[in-house]
Copies of this chain bind each other. A is one copy, B any other.
Amino acid sequence: MEQNNTWIQTLSLTPPTLQDNTADADRLAGELSRILTGQVQPHLVKTELHLLRRLPDLLRKWEYHVRCVLFRDHDHWVLTGITHAEDARPVTGLAIDLGTTRVVLRLVELSSGQALGESSFDNPQITVAPDILARIHHTDTEGGLAELSDLIIHGLNEQIASLCKSCDIIPDDIYLLSLAGNTAMTHLFMGLNPRWIIREPYIPVVNTPGLVKADELGIRVNPLARMLIFPNVGSYFGGDLIAGILFSGMNTAEETAILVDVGTNAEVVLGNKNWLIACAGAAGPALEGGVTRMGMMAGPGAIDKVIIDPKTRHFDIHTIGDVQPKGICGSGLIDLAAHLFLSGMVDIRGRLLPSACDGCLKQKDGVWHLVVIPAAASATGEDLTISQIDLDSLIRSKAAMYTILETIASSVGMALSELSTFYVAGTFGSFINPISAISIGMIPDLPLTAYQSLGNSSLGGATLALTSADCMEEISSIRDRITYLELNVNQEFMNRFSAAKFLPHTTPSLFPSVRVRG
């Protein structure tokens, strides 16, 4: 078996003799420390009581030829598992992306780094409260914190059991875990009181939880297993983003890149190997498709792509699963807005132009609605429409996003055009069409090659922590290097925001590639 991962060490100890009577645990820890650091320093490798009690029998049974699983906790290592060197059972780790809405698990074979399987489930806390704020408020009720904590722990345990089953292993084969989530979800998972996260001055219980025994958390895997809980920078910049930065690699690059994760908030990180600056702001709901009447999460029947022929104004619509449309998701909405603008059906303020929309406009309660899909063609049996109010909301969101990007860049004296790479994280990033997002001025007018979609970067970062031992230091270093920029909604911000409320912008020279052909 190839040994790529330094969390796994296969070694043959020199058996004890009268001349070399070092104890079993110290013999093992000494040799491990020598391999890991070049020096025999047994105190750097911790062996817990539970393992000490079995160690002498195991070492003798295996004739001192062993495979060890280690995990690093700052200046020392913890021995989280030991097997015979030639044991055929896989040694695995589990990466967890703990989302507010969705939780994703990835099981990894540790010595090869290969993913054995993946599964996901709705965060069961949704049954108690849909969003972060409501969940935190729920912890103020009697037993509320325990209830939310138990829900996610039990949910994870069930999911782990079934993922293991489908991969033909048992939970005892899991020796390392990593978990990346936002600060609030991480707190609820650990049973920590999140009360002060949402109250000024917005203080988490802990920034750097480090390694915790899975057993102590109630997670049913190998009893020796440790879980790395990704650190946060504060209440509004969580471990999921640290994991995302790690996954992007921007933290080790010479050139300055930006990473954008769009959820309920837009979270933005700008930086390179020398510095990292981060901020977050409300920009998301409209972009996620959450605020329009026809909006929906990405899923079967959601319109995810729209093209409007600028001459014929014919709508070319694509839905997820190629079924009858029943709503529109974020990427579809951005496509739609971009093409309405490019084909001249809305003006630079985003106003629907009756003269250009032919028979597609209907007025309802004094507000213009554009019929995207007529009732006859929709899955709901009703017109799927987008209203002027929806468009206004989308424009505020895209303006907020662009303003945040401009603000963070200008805080370090950069123009957005200087960016080498623009990472987009999350499912939003996977589906959005950058040309459309540029067309409405939501993101800067960079060469298309600059845009990189990271997919589930939180899960990706969590996986790296399991498969590459070097990441451990990098995670701490990312956290410690990040400067969090408080977005002050001052006059300058408002000026930028106002300028960004046009399509694509009041300064068209910022978007040279955008040409309205209507």
- The chain A residues found within 8 Å of chain B, CB to CB, are 16-18, 20-26, 42-44, 46-49, 52-53, 55-57, 60, 74-76, 190-193, 195-196, 200-210, 212, 216-217, 232, 234-235, 476, 486
Contacts and interface: CB of A to CB of B under 8 A. Distances in A.
A509 to B, nearest CB: 37
Copies in the complex: 2
Contacts of A17: 201
A235 B486 CA distance: 60
A178 to B, nearest CB: 17
Nearest to A19: B201
Contacts of A57: 193
Given A18-B202, A26-B206, A47-B206, 15 more contacts: A22-B203, A23-B204, A23-B206, A23-B234, A43-B74, A43-B476, A48-B216, A49-B191, A52-B190, A52-B206, A53-B193, A57-B193, A74-B76, A75-B75, A75-B76
A235 B47 CA distance: 19
26 contacts: A18-B202, A21-B201, A23-B203, A23-B205, A23-B207, A24-B203, A24-B204, A25-B206, A26-B206, A26-B207, A42-B208, A43-B75, A43-B210, A43-B476, A46-B210, A49-B190, A49-B217, A52-B205, A52-B206, A53-B190, A53-B192, A53-B193, A56-B196, A56-B205, A60-B196, A75-B75
Contacts of A16: 201, 203
A361 to B, nearest CB: 47
B76 A208 contact: no
Contacts of A20: 201
Q: Give 6 closest A-B pairs by Cβ, nearest first.
A: A25-B206, A23-B204, A23-B207, A26-B207, A18-B201, A43-B74
A191 B49 CA distance: 9
A56 B25 contact: no
Contacts of A43: 74-75, 208, 210, 476
Nearest to A25: B206
A278 B293 CA distance: 84
Nearest to A183: B23
Given A56-B195, A192-B53, A216-B49, A206 B24 contact: yes
